[in-house]
Amino acid sequence: MLHLEIAVAPTEIQSVHDLALLEARLGFDKGTVLSSFPKAWFRDVAERLRAENNDVGREILIERLRRVKDGKIVAFNREYNGDTWADAARASHDYESFHRLVEESFNDLPTYVHALTDLDDDDFEFVTRYPRHAGNLAEAAKALLIGAEKVTIYDPYICLTKNGYKKTLLAMMDLCSKAEVEFHIFSEEDGKRDWDSRQTALDAFKAEIPKNIRLFWYCADDGGSGFLHPRGLFTAKGGLIYDRGFEEPNDHDQRDKLTDITPMSRNMLDEKSLSYSSSQQYDDFELVRDVWCSHRW
């Protein structure tokens, strides 16, 4: 997973200042996210802070809480077993590692950190180079996929007549935990096999798509502007840039070659969301045929 997962005990968030520290350090665009551990983490923190703050700071508090909830927190569906948060965190970490855990009784650096203020720049260095195996390409986006209701992928070369793309898409779909998730995939029309072959591959792919996934496929033409050349993935929370796209190469040696995957800035996410919105007229390209849809719910 590209995004570092940091868990912070709810009792460590005692003021708007603590929220400000989280907001400055964490985010999908910064490569680090806050684990919702336990699942009621945000509710517990919000209720306590609202009770302790007076009317003067209430609007600032509510706005900071909203920004933290919308852009910093991910529920990784971890088990919470223990008499205290510290006990539960250690048990969960033994089963599947956190990047950092923060609680006042901890003092075993670098993983177990005593306080938010003890976190340093080195604690936020994330990996940006990954093998091109389908599982690695998908796992890099896990923090975005696990809670997504809509996933948009744009790649001029993506085509389901190639098995390497199918493997990556299925690996990504398997990471999605919501009951209903839409995948919207934008592919450039040029350089592909005839549409009948591509549609046959799409129709065959229906049988492999998980039941909670609905797939939409768009064939686009940018008129030679080059707009469609970049490759990436985004959700409502954030996005990633895939330097060499989503295909697992046929050549096994090529699969082990590292490719760059990096977080999108907030500005880029906003721009891509507008450009590839499925609910508006497209300004940067045109669709050359009807949108293909796997099924209706």
For residue range 9-37, list pLDDT tens digits in order: 999 998 888 888 988 999 999 999 999 99
pLDDT score recorded for residue 116: 93
pLDDT score recorded for residue 54: 66
pLDDT score recorded for residue 66: 84
For residue range 172-217, list pLDDT tens digits in order: 999 999 999 999 999 999 889 899 999 999 999 999 999 999 999 9
The domain ranges of the chain are 4-124, 129-293
Q: Does 282 score more than 90 pLDDT?
A: no
Average pLDDT over residues 64-73: 86
Mean pLDDT score across all residues of the chain = 93
- Pairs from 114-118 (Cβ < 8 Å, separation ≥ 24): 115/12, 116/8, 116/12, 116/18, 116/21, 116/22, 117/21
| Among 145, 211, 151, residue whose Cα is nearest residue 179 | 211
Average pLDDT over residues 127-146: 97
Q: Are 246 and 165 in contact (CB under 8 A)?
A: yes
Give me 178's structure tokens: 């919501």
Q: Does 280 score more than 70 pLDDT?
A: no
pLDDT score recorded for residue 297: 65
Q: Does 265 score more than 90 pLDDT?
A: yes
pLDDT score recorded for residue 170: 98
Sequence letter at residue 135: G
CATH code of the domain made up of 129-293: 3.30.870.10
Average pLDDT over residues 159-183: 97
pLDDT score recorded for residue 55: 62
Say whether pTM exceeds 0.85: yes
Give me 172's structure tokens: 């990504």
